[in-house]
């Protein structure tokens, strides 16, 4: 059962009042009773002293009858029982009982104490009257100095009890009145304290229900008033912040709804948090926030992409085909919130354009190959038959440029074939060191003509890789060819080694080097660092693009380090086959 603050305050006051009233009643009643009995004891003492003086003439000589008559007359006017006890404990006189039938009183506590010469007092049960009495005993000294008798005054406590009972009834009546008044005061005090708290509670519930116009106005300027003012200020601030948040949310919703790319945000369990209209159209189903991403009618590849992003937390970008259109799915994992965002960008037209461009390049290259070969052949024939120096010079220019065009066409066809491949066809176990050795042999003569060296350092016991030996040889032919072309002094160092499950090939030259601003672009098609030098050396600008595609098809990595004047280092790494 829920306890309210009002009930806690009310019952706290009430219980406190009851306990306090009970304690006051008990303590005051006990104090009054003790004081009253003490007063009665004092009265008994005074009466005993008076009687003691009066009964002395009856003791010497002993006149029991006269003493008994005197005691009965004396006690009749004071409502007190008087008893005279001899030194041996025999009752000599008693105001309310016949002495012959009374027991010996020598063992009575107050008598025993009085016999020792000091007044005695006790409260105990009387066998004679069958009730409790208050006793006070006064010793009477004889002529010889000893105690000759004891005068005892006693009072029936039932009279005291009757008086105390009447007193208790009055005290209880007063206590009940006090409790009732305390009850009324506790209720009024509780209501006074609880009222502003209840108002604050009601206002808090209203704010929780997004009613930010509610205010709490208290009249008494105490701590609760300060709290109410703080509450009002807080409510106003929340109202402003909520309005600002709603405005930003509306703006964000408008932006998300208006973008043409499909947007989806899911939590770590795959539940949809944000989805825009473009994504809903692609999903082909009425999906909304709160559903799971797999409830949409998107391809399995998209679902796998989402699952991989959520489990591994890896950002990626992959092409996905949906309804005969190609989309670039960009996946972003937000580690702090454990959420993932996915954007589907329609690249169908771009892909079609790229495909048309590649087809055009392939077709043109293929169509150019035959006439260029014919031109080269006829130029060589004319060069043999013609003895004129000027004509032979022109024929040599034609042949040189034709060869350059043929190289470009061949490289374009090779690059076009590589771009159409997703994996290496007919991949087999291949030895990287063999491809490196074969490529190096091709350039031994050209290197020697320039006075350059080619040094091979091949680690023993190298593992195999999975790939195409011919394509691998193309990689090292291009790298070594470039190294020799752009090196005038020194030579080329080629090192093949096994590193942590990878077979690495390091091709380092002592050539002119590459400027830092050109490093990010050297793998682009037709990009050359020094155009005049490239034309002079017959470069096509496609060699490194071919290298990049072949390395990628072998799941390898390609890195370059270079500074102008210090040479260039290309490092190619391929995953080794574990035996």
Q: Over the stretch 24-49, which tens digit does the pLDDT of each residue have?
A: 777 776 777 777 777 777 777 788 78
Residue 242 Cα distances to 137, 211, 236, 261, angstroms = 92, 11, 10, 29
| Nearest one of 418, 569, 576 to 497, comparing CA atoms | 576
Is the pLDDT score of 417 beyond 70?
A: no
Say what the pLDDT of residue 1 is.
Answer: 44
Note the pLDDT of residue 228. 73
- Does CATH number 3.90.600.10 belong to domain 423-575? no
- Assigned CATH for 5-163: 3.30.450.20
Query: Three-state SS for 435?
Result: helix
From 3-17, 308-322, 558-572, the region with the lowest mean pLDDT: 3-17
Helix (H) or strand (E) holding 253: helix 223-258
CA atoms within 13 A on the CB side of 173: 6
Mean pLDDT of 66-78: 80
- Model confidence pLDDT, tens digit, residues 224-241: 677 777 877 788 887 788
Domain residue ranges of the chain, discontinuous segments joined by +: 5-163, 259-346, 351-419, 423-575
Question: Per-residue pLDDT averaged across 481-492, rounded?
Answer: 88
pLDDT tens-digit series, residues 100-124? 878 888 888 888 888 888 888 887 7
Mean pLDDT on 238-263? 77
Asked if the domains 5-163 and 423-575 are classified in one and the same CATH topology, the answer is no
Domain 351-419, what architecture?
Orthogonal Bundle (1.10)
- pTM, to two decimals: 0.43
pLDDT in tens, 7-26: 666 677 777 777 777 777 77
Q: Which is higher by pLDDT, 380 or 60?
A: 60
Does the pLDDT value for residue 154 go beyond 50?
A: yes
Q: How far is CA 539 from CA 216, 403, 411, 526, in A?
A: 84, 11, 11, 9
The mean pLDDT value for 184-198 works out to: 73
* Mean pLDDT confidence for 515-523: 78
Query: What 3-state DSSP class applies to 567?
Result: strand
> Residue 69 is inside which H or E element, if any?
helix 64-76
Give the mean model confidence (pLDDT) for residues 305-322.
81
Determine which of 56-65, 435-444, 448-457, 553-562 has the lowest per-residue pLDDT on average.
56-65
Q: What is the mean pLDDT of residues 292-321?
A: 80
% of the chain with per-residue pLDDT over 90: 3
259-346: CATH topology is Beta-Lactamase (3.30.450)
Distance CA 481, CA 524 (A): 18
Q: What number is the average pLDDT over the span 85-106? A: 83
The answer on pLDDT for 355 being more than 50 is: yes
Q: What is the structure's pLDDT at 3?
A: 57
Residues 6+ apart with CB under 8 A from 465: 429, 430, 432, 503, 554, 574, 575, 576, 577
The 3 state secondary structure assigned to 54-67 is: HHHHHCCCCCHHHH
**Secondary structure (3-state) at 510:** coil
The Cα 326–Cα 304 span in angstroms is: 17
């Amino acid at each position: 059962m829920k306890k309210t603050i009002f009930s806690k305050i009310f019952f706290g006051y009430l219980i406190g009042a009851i306990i306090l009233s009970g304690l006051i009643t008990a303590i005051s009643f006990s104090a009054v009773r003790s004081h009253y009995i003490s007063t009665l004891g004092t009265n008994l003492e005074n009466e005993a002293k008076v009687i003691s003086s009066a009964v002395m003439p009856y003791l010497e000589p002993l006149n029991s009858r006269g003493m008994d008559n005197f005691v009965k007359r004396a006690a009749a006017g004071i409502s007190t029982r008087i008893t005279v006890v001899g030194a041996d404990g025999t009752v000599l006189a008693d105001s309310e009982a016949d002495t012959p039938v009374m027991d010996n009183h020598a063992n009575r506590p107050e008598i025993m104490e009085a016999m020792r010469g000091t007044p005695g007092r006790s409260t105990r049960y009387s066998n004679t009257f069958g009730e409790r009495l208050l006793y006070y005993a006064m010793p009477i000294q004889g002529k010889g100095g000893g105690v000759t008798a004891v005068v005892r005054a006693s009072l029936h406590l039932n009279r005291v009890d009757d008086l105390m009972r009447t007193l208790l009834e009055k005290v209880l009546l007063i206590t009940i009145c006090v409790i009732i008044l305390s009850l009324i005061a506790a209720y009024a005090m509780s209501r006074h304290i609880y009222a502003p708290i209840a108002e604050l509670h009601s206002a808090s519930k209203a704010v929780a229900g997004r009613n930010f116009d509610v205010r709490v106005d208290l009249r008494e300027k105490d701590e609760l008033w300060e709290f109410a003012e703080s509450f009002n200020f807080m409510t106003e601030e929340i109202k402003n912040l909520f309005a600002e948040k709603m405005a930003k949310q509306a703006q964000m919703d408008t932006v998300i709804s208006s973008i043409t790319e499909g947007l989806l945000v899911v939590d770590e369990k795959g539940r949809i948090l944000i989805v825009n209209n473009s994504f809903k159209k692609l999903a082909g189903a009425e999906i909304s926030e709160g559903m799971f991403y797999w409830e949409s009618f998107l391809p399995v590849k998209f679902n796998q992409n989402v699952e991989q992003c959520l489990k591994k937390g890896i950002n990626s970008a992959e092409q996905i085909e949906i309804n005969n259109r190609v989309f670039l799915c960009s996946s972003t994992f937000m580690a702090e919130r454990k959420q993932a965002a996915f954007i589907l960008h329609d690249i169908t037209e771009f892909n079609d354009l790229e495909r048309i461009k590649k087809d055009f390049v392939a077709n043109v290259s293929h169509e150019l190959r035959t006439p260029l070969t014919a031109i080269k052949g006829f130029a060589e024939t004319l060069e043999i038959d013609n003895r004129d120096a000027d004509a032979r010079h022109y024929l040599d220019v034609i042949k040189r440029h034709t060869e350059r065009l043929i190289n470009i066409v061949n490289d374009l066809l090779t690059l076009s074939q590589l771009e159409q491949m997703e994996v290496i066809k007919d991949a087999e176990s291949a030895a990287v060191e063999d491809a490196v050795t074969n490529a190096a042999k091709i350039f031994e003569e050209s290197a020697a003509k320039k006075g350059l060296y080619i040094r091979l350092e091949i680690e023993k016991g190298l593992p195999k890789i999975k790939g195409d030996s011919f394509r691998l040889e193309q990689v090292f032919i291009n790298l070594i060819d470039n190294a020799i072309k752009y090196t005038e002094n020194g030579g080329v160092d080629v090192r093949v080694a096994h590193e942590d499950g990878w077979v690495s090939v390091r091709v380092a030259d002592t050539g002119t080097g590459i400027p830092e601003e050109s490093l990010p672009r050297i793998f682009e098609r037709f990009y050359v660092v020094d155009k005049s030098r490239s034309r002079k050396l017959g470069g096509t600008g496609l060699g490194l693009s071919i290298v990049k595609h072949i390395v990628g098809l072998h799941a390898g990595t390609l890195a370059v380090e270079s500074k102008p004047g210090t040479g260039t280092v290309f490092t190619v790494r391929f995953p080794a086959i574990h035996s």
